[in-house]
Structure 1
Amino acid sequence: MKHSIKKIFRNLSFFLLALVIFAGLALLSVFNQLNSYKKIDNLNNQKEIVSSLSNLSKDNLELMFIELNGKSKQLHIEIEKLRTLYDYNFAEKYILSNSKEYLSDLDKLSSLATAFNKEAYNYFYYEKDKNATATKEELEKKSSSLKGQIDSIIFKDITYSQRKFNIHKNATILVFIITLFGFIWYKKRLDMIYKDLQFLFHVNHKKHTIFSQEVGAISVRMNRKPLVTENPILLDPVTGINNLKGLMSAYIEKKGMKEDNFTSVSVLEIDNFSKTNKVYSQELTQAILKKIAFTISLHEQVADVIARTDYNQFTIILSRPKKEDSFKEMENIRKSISELKLSSAELGEINITVSGGYVIKPNNISLEESIRQAKKVLLHAQNSGKNKISQIKDLAHSEL
């Protein structure tokens, strides 16, 4: 069974997209881990603040109260920072689902901090008051409770980090296995596609089993039909470009090369140049035809087809992304032909012009029918003064 290159590359795109998503999740995990480090630093900083509040120097009372007020407020600020950090800790919120437990611990920490700050204020402010109830022992007790809660949160964070690490470890192993499998899988298929291309270019002369559907179709087409340039039956003997049979054959071969493009069909006829009105000698006639054919071929692209389909007519099939591009190309061809410089001893300088009929070929209309429509439009161009390219809309306007 042959495989589709289009399907392989589509699946490869999805595979690479999945790797990008996994890489994004890994990056998010790094930021979550960074938040955990910030949380530990924050909690250790709170412990230092509690210790410093418990041991304020009493040498300068004014400075002592400034430190007491500042560090008491800083303690609550640090707790609020923990809440903010948790808002961005997606792993714990959505994977571990510990929001209720963690926020409850922060609420308890905030209450203990408030109680400690109050005890510290009472102890230092009322120290000289004989009726004061705050004692150093009670302050140390409140400090111990607050530090205990901080240690409890740190211990739980270690537990959370261990659980996150296990999840991250398993996910990393899984992603590595998938990536390794995908690398081997797609490398094998890309190697086979490359061998198919080598076969088409005859680089590999050994017997080859075609892997892909597209290369198989190309190979069948190449073996079924000789190239136009190699078959004299399909060539115009005077100009060397396609004749009518060659036009049909080349069109079929190139039909699927650019499916999304617009296909235009144009028929050009040399003005005042017919079998019944032989103004020029045979040698000059052939020179004119060759010049025109060569000029048209200069505008030919890979998916285009050009042919001499009658004594003084050329049929041109263009494939372009936009309709306007095709018509503009035909206008350029007409102008290039009108600028040709030809002369003879008998007639002197000869001015060659062409008139053309231009149509866009719908997918549901045959090439033969499109050529017939183009010839009908060609008559309008000739009746309108010649040396011009007419479209169907020009014909429609003239019939109104």
Structure 2
Amino acid sequence: MLLSIQKIFTNLKTALFILTAVAIVLTLQLFQITNFSDRLGELKKQRLLIDKIVHSDLSDPKMASILINGSLSEIALSIKLSSSEGMLDSFITANEENASIVPSLVASSQAFSESALSWSESLPISRDSRHTQMINSRNAFLGEIDRMVDHQIYLLNTSVEMAKITTLTLLTLIIFVFLFYRSRLNQIYSDIDKVCALDTNGEAKIVLTKEMDFIQKRLARRTIQAPSACSGLINPASGLNNFKGLMTVFNAKKSSRASNTIFLAVFEIDQYASLIKSLSKEDSGNLFKKIGDIIALYEQPLDITAHLDDDHIVFVMSRNSKKIALEDCEKIIHTVEQSGFNTVTGVIKVTLSGGFLLKIPVKSIDEAIQDALKLVEKAKENGGNRIAQLREQSDSYR
């Protein structure tokens, strides 16, 4: 069953959404852990303030009153900060437990505050009894602080464990999504490469995605023209234009080429005479079809490819410069060299020799082809598998 690229990307978006959601949950948990740490800090601060109040020096009543009142205000603020409910508290512990601890802490802090004020304002004669009362309320307050500390440590540990689970879940999902969709995206890229790239080994291109399979079939499907309309314009062996078709298309596109220069290249298969003896008629036709397909990769809208009766391939190009046209011809030569061609006896390799020139207006297409054929011979004399061109202002070839 073929894969669907649309479904792959839809599922990828869903997976990324899930990863984002889990990452947000982990972020909230980390903020919650920080909140618990802050609460423990406030509880520790309350202990220090209590100790500061208990050991206050009452020899200077006014200064002692200022210090004690300031510390009591800090305790009240600290109680509020340490007992505030966090966003995720309800997911970690029951609300009833927190509801029972916080009021007891607030009540014991108020009792300690009242006894501390009473001690600081008492007369020397009753100071000892008031101090004893304050110590008793302090002990009760410290007990509630210890209870709150234990509660916060429990919440902190639970939050850390939950964060660990979330982190492991997120890491597992990331690894799974990365490996799974890396494979899927590699498959998509591989299918695109198979459909768009050149066939270098002659093997059948098998794609695994529906969309690429559809495109491949569309690209492979040739337009079938009515025999009455084109029987004299197409080379039956390769399905490319013959000489008559070349001239017909060339004249039809002539008006569109006004701004560009016309270049012409003729290609011949190296050692063609000996090669053709080993090929069946069908294999020979398929060979020229594939070479035509390779040339088509470098075609532009105004270009024409033709397969002549003498089995030469003509490529008429409309380009802005000679350099660009020559580079395209060299790419065709190299691409054919790298490609494999299927035959009944197996995959074979072939090379091309080519002749390249600028088509001057005073010469016809037929005359330009004859000049290019002379360049083809020069390319073959120099070992083949190359493109030869006429040097500017010179009769020598390269």
TM-score by length of 2: 0.55
Residues 204 and 107 of structure 1: CA distance in aligned 2, closer, same or farther (over 3 Å): farther
- Higher RCO (CA 8 Å, separation ≥ 6 residues): 2
Which amino acid in 2 is paired with 1:159?
Y
Residue 136 (structure 1) aligned with residue 148 (structure 2): no
Q: Percent identity?
A: 18
Aligned 1:1-400 pairs, distance under 5 A = 1-84=1-84, 86=85, 89-93=86-90, 95-130=91-126, 134-200=129-195, 201-202=197-198, 205=201, 206-225=203-222, 232=241, 237=249, 240-241=252-253, 291=258
* Structure 2 CA distance for partners of 1:98 and 1:204, relative to 1, 3 Å: farther
What SS class does the counterpart of residue 237 from structure 1 fall into?
A: helix
In structure 1, stretches of 5+ residues that fail to align are 242-285, 295-304, 307-400
The answer as to whether partners of 2:68 and 2:117 remain within 8 angstroms in 1 is yes
CA distance in structure 1 between the partners assigned to 2:159 and 2:18 by the alignment: 21
Deviations 1:149-179 (A, max 9, x none): 1111111111122222222222322332222
Q: CA deviation at 1:231?
A: 5.2
Cα distance between partner residues in 1 of 2:199 and 2:188: 14
How many Å separate the matches in 1 of 2:42 and 2:211? 62
Q: Distance in 1 between the 2:224 and 2:26 partners?
A: 54
1:83 positional shift: 4.1
Find the aligned partners of 1:21 and 1:240 in 2 and give their Cα distance.
Answer: 61
Residues 123, 214 of structure 1: CA spacing in aligned structure 2 closer, same or farther, 3 A cutoff?
A: same
CA distance 1:218–1:119, change in 2 (3 Å):
same
Gaps of 5+ in 2: 226-233, 262-300, 303-398
Amino acid at match of 1:237: V
Question: Structure 1 residues 5, 112: CA separation in 2 closer, same or farther (over 3 Å shift)?
Answer: same
Contact map agreement 1:119 1:134 (CA 8 A) in 2: no
Per the alignment, do residues 98 and 126 of structure 1 end up closer, same or farther by CA in structure 2, a change over 3 Å counting? same
Distance in 1, matches of 2:246 and 2:83, equals 81
SS in 2 for 1:202: coil
Query: Residue 16 of structure 1: SS of its match in structure 2?
Result: helix
Q: Deviations over 1:300-351 (max 9, x none)?
A: xxxxx99xxxxxxxxxxxxxxxxxxxxxxxxxxxxxxxxxxxxxxxxxxxxx
The CA deviation at 1:240 is: 4.7
Distance 1:239 1:76, change over 3 A: farther
Structure 1 contact 238–290 (Cα < 8 Å) conserved = no
Letter in 1 for 2:105: L
* Paired residue total: 246
Please state how far the C-alpha of 1:148 moved relative to its aligned partner: 1.0
Q: 1: CA distance between counterparts of 2:259 and 2:224? A: 23
Q: Counterparts of 1:72 and 1:292 in 2: how far apart (Å)?
A: 91
Structure 1 position 96, deviation (Å): 1.8
Q: Is the 8 A contact 2:26 2:166 kept in 1?
A: no
**Can you list the C-alpha shifts for 1:231-259, whole angstroms capped at 9, x where unaligned?**
54799635555xxxxxxxxxxxxxxxxxx
Query: For residue 349 of structure 1, what is the aligned residue in structure 2?
Result: none
Q: CA deviation at 1:133?
A: 8.3
| 1:25–1:196 Cα change, 3 Å | same
Q: Pick closer, same or farther for the CA change 1:222–1:155 going to 2, 3 Å.
A: same
Match in the other structure for 1:362: none
Evaluate the alpha carbon distance shift between residue 83 and residue 238 of structure 1 in structure 2; reply closer, same or farther with a 3 A threshold.
Answer: same
CA distance in 2, matches of 1:5, 1:57: 80
CA distance in 2, matches of 1:204, 1:186: 28
With over 3 angstroms needed to count, the CA separation of the structure-2 counterparts of 1:235 and 1:39, relative to structure 1, is farther
- Regions of 4+ moved over 4 Å: 226-236, 238-241, 289-294
Contact in 1 for aligned 2:112/2:134 (Cα 8 Å): yes
Q: Is the 8 A contact 1:43 1:150 kept in 2?
A: yes
In the superposition, the TM-score normalised over structure 1's length comes to 0.55
